[in-house]
Amino acid sequence: MTARTSVLADTACAGLSALVTGAGSGIGRAITLRLVELGARVTGLGRRAETLAETGSLAADRERYDYEVCDVRDTEAVVAAVGRTGARHGLGLLVNNAGGQFFAPATGISAGGWRAVIDLNLTAAFTVTMAAYPFLAEAGGSVVNISLSGVERGGMGMAHSVAARSGILGLTRTLALEWAKDGVRLNCVGPGTVLTSALSDEAGRHVHDNLVARGTPMRRATAPEEVAELVAFLAGPAGAMMTGQLIQIDGGAHLGPGLHMLPEAYA
Ligand SMILES: CCCCCCCCC/C=C/C(=O)SCCNC(=O)CCNC(=O)[C@H](O)C(C)(C)COP(=O)(O)OP(=O)(O)OC[C@H]1O[C@@H](n2cnc3c(N)ncnc32)[C@H](O)[C@@H]1OP(=O)(O)O
Ligand SMILES: NC(=O)C1=CN([C@@H]2O[C@H](COP(=O)(O)OP(=O)(O)OC[C@H]3O[C@@H](n4cnc5c(N)ncnc54)[C@H](OP(=O)(O)O)[C@@H]3O)[C@@H](O)[C@H]2O)C=CC1
């Protein structure tokens, strides 16, 4: 069953200026499209111009979307891209969505593999957030970090990613304390399995078959649009007293058997 996800008022994000990393596909694209639909203007950021442009072609109002081609692991490029965006439009919302990992038992993760996943999912989010801070403080804005469901319980085959996202949770809560004086809020959203194209390879199918079919009490995947609606809620006035939270949007997957019951998925 697909849920009816669009519940916010049409103007819920009117006047908001947002930066969404990984806006060219999957969850980041859904967040971008929904924010524009709700009245925001959005800069998408990613490494591929074609997919970022395609997101714009799907937007409800193309005038309220632009993009920056940038690798979030390139600190210099991030500082420049975020600086340009902030100077041009201001920044009331940052969504750190770009991320990912490969699935392997910890013994199958090389030093280079560890570094790649930590750099992408932890260090890059820190870099982008720090570059955005002056603009967020100016606007009294907020940050939503896209994390993982189950991040507090661990997940087999994801040692690097869970470690990175646990770091993000610690960073989120610490900055929620440090930046409250500026009116800046930070929250984490932890999706369960979302059937984006990122999960179309063999490992992804394995995760889907096990996590959705056997590990999700609600017995279905999370829709990207559901994640987008939650992000828009957190960014708008209804979320004004929410900071330092991890909200899991996973059909109860974090309560279910969990990845520890599914070792064969990563054998
Ligand atoms: C409880 C309820 C829960 C509920 C839990 C919720 C379900 C969670 C489902 C999550 C789903 C998602 O996140 S979906 C989104 C997924 N999307 C993605 O993951 C795509 C993005 N991922 C990637 O591009 C790659 O994984 C990543 C490593 C991050 C990219 O970095 P790079 O481009 O730098 O990668 P490369 O240069 O190719 O490789 C860097 C190093 O990583 C190693 N490496 C790369 N792939 C590897 C592999 N499959 N196995 C081993 N090692 C690998 C290489 O050998 C290199 O190591 P050396 O040779 O030693 O240098
Ligand atoms: N799908 C799922 O089941 C779940 C996903 N998540 C998380 O949600 C987020 C989005 O996932 P999803 O939409 O499925 O994945 P996708 O792979 O579709 O999206 C990831 C996006 O991030 C961008 N990106 C990746 N690396 C970089 C980089 N170095 N610099 C800039 N942009 C980058 C990619 O664009 P480009 O390659 O052009 O740079 C892409 O648009 C990720 O953090 C993921 O781990 C969490 C739980 C479940």
Residue 238 belongs to a domain: yes
Report pLDDT digits (tens) over 81-136.
999 999 999 999 999 999 999 989 999 999 999 999 999 999 999 999 999 999 99
Give pTM, 2 decimals: 0.96
Residue 196 belongs to a domain: no
φ/ψ of 70, rounded to 5, equals -165, 140
Residue 85 belongs to a domain: yes
Please give the pLDDT value at position 260: 58
Residue 3 belongs to a domain: no
What's the 100 CA to ligand 1 centre distance in angstroms? 6
Residue 213 belongs to a domain: no
What are the structure tokens assigned to 179, written together? 């930046």
Q: Which domain holds residue 155?
A: 17-191+222-250
**Distance in angstroms (rounded) separating the CA atoms of residues 247 and 169:** 11
- Which ranges of the chain would DSSP assign to H, the alpha helix? 26-37, 49-58, 75-89, 111-118, 124-139, 159-178, 202-207, 213-215, 224-235
What's the 98 CA to ligand 2 centre distance in angstroms? 4
Residue 198 belongs to a domain: no
Q: Which ligand is nearest to the CA of 124?
A: 2
Number of domains comprising the chain: 1
* Ligand 2 pocket list (CB less than 6 A): 21-22, 24-28, 46-48, 51, 71-73, 97-100, 120, 146, 148, 191, 193-194, 196-199
Residue 209 belongs to a domain: no
Residue with more model confidence, 163 or 203: 163
Q: Which amino acid is at 104?
A: A
Q: Which ligand is nearest to the CA of 257?
A: 1
Q: What is the ipTM of this complex?
A: 0.97
Residue 200 belongs to a domain: no
- Mutation probe of ligand 2 site: the residue of 189, 196, 227, 249 with most atoms within 8 A of C-beta: 196
Supply the CATH number for residue 30's domain: 3.40.50.720
